[in-house]
Amino acid sequence: MAKIIAVAQLKGGVGKSTITTNLAGSLAVQHRVALIDADLPQGTSSRWAVLRQDPNIELIAAETAQAMTAAVDALDSQVDYVVIDLPPRSLKFLRETLAFADLVLMPLSASAADVWATEELVAIVREVRKGNKRLRARLVWNRLRASRLTAKFLEETAAELRSKEMDSMLCQRTAYMEALGIGKTVEELKDKKAAAEWRIMMRDLLKQLDK
């Protein structure tokens, strides 16, 4: 059975597709991956996959929650991982995906608007976990600028949300935007700091799936 990873947030602009595409590209180095882009019509993950042309990544564009669920069922025995880029502001997509997902990543930055959206998302995750006991949920701090105030904000916010964080964090780097626009992952570019922090993120993520 494939491991199913959803990248979800109830507001846009948090870096969902950036995380989704780097995740799919990194996993596809050694595994078969299905990339389901449900964030349509924007289709950022789809555009990245078309540019990449990776034989280990099967791209599916899902315009409806029903189409997404059918794709997961069809691919479950054919791939090792299913990575889903969920649309913002769609509770139907979110609830249906979380009902069968193994891990949901919830990206947010150090902004009040992101935190407010995440409060509702965390509440839905807790509700769905009553029926899907294997579901793990992790905050992913993204697009961060290092400072003492940021560190204090992250610590206090995680406690308020009462949700577990990934041990690793992602900084605000142009390498992520550059990689997205040319069908690459940050590990394939020359920015060593971006590549290093993403490798740490991947180790952390795989650890969550193995628990």
Look at 118 and 149; give whichever has higher pLDDT.
Answer: 118
pLDDT at 147 over 60: no
Distance CA 38, CA 32 (A): 19
Q: Is 109 left (phi over 0), alpha (psi -120 to 50) or beta?
A: beta
Ordered DSSP codes for 90-139: -HHHHHHHHTT-SEEEEEE-SSHHHHHHHHHHHHHHHHHTTT-TT-EEEE
Q: Return the pLDDT at 148.
A: 57
pLDDT band at 201 (very low <50, low <70, confident <90, very high): very high
Look at 165 and 202; give whichever has higher pLDDT.
Answer: 202
In the predicted model, what is the mean pLDDT of residues 138-160? 73
pTM to 2 decimal places: 0.92
88 token code pair: 């913002």
What 3-state class would DSSP assign to 20?
Answer: helix
Burial class (CB in 10 A: 0-12, 13-18, 19+), 9: buried
Q: Could you give all domains of the chain from N- to C-terminal order, each with its CATH number?
A: 3-210 (3.40.50.300)
Q: Return the pLDDT at 75.
A: 93
Look at 200 and 115; give whichever has higher pLDDT.
Answer: 200
**Gyration radius of the chain's alpha carbons:** 16
